[in-house]
Amino acid sequence: MAKMKNKKSNISIRDILKGKFLVDDGSMQNWRFVMFLVFLAFISISSSHWVDKKVVKINKLDEEAKSLKAQYTDAHRLLMKMQLEPEIMKQSESLGIKLTDEQPYVIIKKVYDRQP
């Protein structure tokens, strides 16, 4: 078996800053890695924008739900007030209906069983 020698790269930081690793021999592998990093960066940025849009939509729907709950509470309060006896009396007086002092009659209908 042949022993593999460790290839020590002679690339310095200066060479990286100049971009020599992209134009030297075997740079195709470097270009693939760079494109892979660009693709990952694009995916990361687009997913963060997507999440931000969802958060804004959730906040908007939450505010709308609070508004609808307040409208429901107000309508329920008005309905309960309208069901009180003094309110009913005011409404009936405006229609010309008055409360009587006499007790109402009870009508009883007797049903007799007929025998055949």
For 107, half-sphere exposure in the C-beta direction (CA atoms, 13 angstrom radius) is 1
- CA Rg, the chain, in Å? 42
pLDDT per position as a tens digit, 3-23: 555 565 677 788 777 777 777
Angle of CA points 15, 21, 23, to nearest 5°: 115
Largest interatomic CA distance in the chain? 120
Question: By three-state DSSP, how is residue 43 classified?
Answer: helix
pLDDT per residue as tens digits for the range 63-105: 999 999 999 999 999 999 999 988 888 888 888 888 888 888 8
CA–CA dist 107, 99 (Å, integer): 20
Helix 27-82 to helix 85-95 angle (10° resolution) is 70
Give me the pLDDT at residue 66, please.
98
Is-contact 19 10, C-beta < 8 A?
no
